[in-house]
């Protein structure tokens, strides 16, 4: 293969992750402009088990790399991707902006001298090369980037941003690619620790009252807990409050916490870091209250108020009697 697009599929604990289909969908959108084939690589202990599912609409070939470890290992993935880029010589490589891919893709880009961008939200093709958009200044602005003089560019795409590819006929040919990986691993997997439920399930709540950094004192957390209760809402929080130990991890909304889809998400004093938005942007109605009118949370909110959360809490309490 010369040129074309290589998609790096992602699996975890034996299942293909949704982002894999979003990567194939994004690759399909620009396949004609990139030229060449659309090839999906899977690096997994049992790649054959997932090959048919990955043979989506527009996929010309699935490359199966057998990993010697039961789960993801960053250095194995890194060596496998470097070998695939060297043998297949793709023009464009798409992988996930996920914790696994962020654990090896930047090293691959550094070692192989690739064009590289992470957390990409738009990809287009101009004058024979990729042009991308990604956040800048903490997501308050969008930067447009290109990759002059790069033979191959590796892009990590933000999850839940690109439309997934349709299932397709599943008959794209599967080719086994032999990469020497037996001595590649540099970490030893010891186990997984599943998240603790702590008796609260914010993922199924109808109304979430979610608090963030605007709550500056641990003593105020209890107040918002009782306010939530009186509103018929469940209390949740953004990462900083959980990091500080003010609330248990089970109440955390975001990439590393829970993905929630309540009818109403009331965000008080949450600025809206990308990782937080990833966990709540699909809420049916989002109401954001923040003192910073430029806070990224307002970009996804249906209703917004530029206001101090304590002033609002005073009035909510008064109105509830």
Name residues contacting another protein, limited to 208-247 (CB under 8 A). 231-233, 239-240, 242-244
Shortest distance in whole angstroms from residue 55 CB to another protein: 25
| Span interacting with another protein, options 44-52, 53-61, 92-100, 214-222, rule CB under 8 A | 92-100
Q: Is 127 in the site for another protein (CB under 8 A)?
A: no
Q: Judge whether 215 and 209 are in contact, CB under 8 Å.
A: no
Using rule CB under 8 A, residue 124 touches another protein: no
Please name which of 145, 143, 119 lies closest in space to residue 130, comparing C-alpha atoms. Answer: 145
* CB 281 to another protein: min, Å: 8
Beta carbon of residue 68, minimum distance to another protein (angstroms, whole number): 15
Within residues 8-67, the interface with another protein by CB under 8 A covers 12
Q: Which two tokens stand for residue 312?
A: 């609002």
CB of 62 to another protein, least distance (A): 24
Stated as kind and residue range, the H or E segment containing 290 is strand 285-290
In angstroms, the CA 300 to CA 309 distance is 19
What is the DSSP code string of 56-117? -TT--EEEEEE-SSSS--HHHHHHHHHHHHHHH--SEEEEESSHHHHTTHHHHHHHHT-EEE
151 and 5 Cβ atoms separated by less than 8 Å? no
How many residues bind another protein (CB under 8 A)? The answer is 105
Q: Is 206 in the site for another protein (CB under 8 A)?
A: yes
Using rule CB under 8 A, residue 321 touches another protein: no
CB of 172 to another protein, least distance (A): 28
| 201 binding another protein? (CB under 8 A) | no
Report d(CA 162, CA 254) in Å as an integer.
19
Q: Is 296 in the site for another protein (CB under 8 A)?
A: yes
């Amino acid at each position: 293969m010369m040129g074309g697009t290589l998609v790096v599929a992602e699996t975890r604990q034996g299942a293909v992750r949704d982002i894999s289909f979003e990567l194939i969908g994004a690759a399909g959108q620009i396949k004609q402009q990139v030229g060449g084939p659309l090839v999906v690589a899977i690096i997994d202990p049992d790649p054959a088990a997932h090959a048919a599912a990955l043979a989506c609409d527009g996929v010309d070939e699935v490359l199966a790399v057998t990993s010697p470890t039961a789960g993801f290992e960053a250095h194995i993935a890194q060596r496998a991707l470097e070998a695939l880029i060297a043998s297949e010589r793709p023009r464009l490589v798409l992988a996930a902006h996920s914790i696994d891919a962020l654990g090896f893709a930047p090293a691959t880009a550094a070692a192989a001298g690739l064009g590289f961008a992470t957390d990409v939200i738009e990809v287009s093709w101009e004058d024979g090369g990729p042009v991308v958009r990604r956040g800048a200044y903490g997501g308050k602005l969008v930067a447009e980037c290109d990759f002059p003089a790069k033979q191959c560019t590796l892009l990590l795409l933000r999850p839940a941003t690109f439309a997934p590819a349709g299932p397709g006929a599943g008959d794209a040919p599967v080719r086994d690619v032999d990469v020497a990986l037996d001595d590649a691993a540099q970490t030893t997997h010891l186990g997984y620790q599943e998240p603790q439920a702590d008796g609260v399930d914010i993922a199924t709540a109808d109304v979430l009252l979610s608090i963030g950094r605007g709550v500056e004192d641990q003593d105020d957390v209890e107040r918002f807990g009782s306010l939530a209760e009186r509103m018929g809402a469940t209390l949740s929080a953004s990462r900083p409050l959980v990091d500080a130990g003010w609330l248990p991890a089970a109440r955390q909304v975001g990439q590393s916490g829970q993905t929630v889809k309540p009818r109403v998400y009331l965000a008080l004093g949450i600025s809206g870091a990308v990782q937080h938005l990833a966990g709540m942007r699909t809420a049916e109605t989002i109401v954001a209250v923040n003192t910073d009118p430029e806070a990224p949370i307002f970009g996804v909110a249906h209703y917004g108020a530029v206001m101090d959360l304590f002033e609002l809490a005073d009035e909510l309490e008064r109105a509830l009697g």
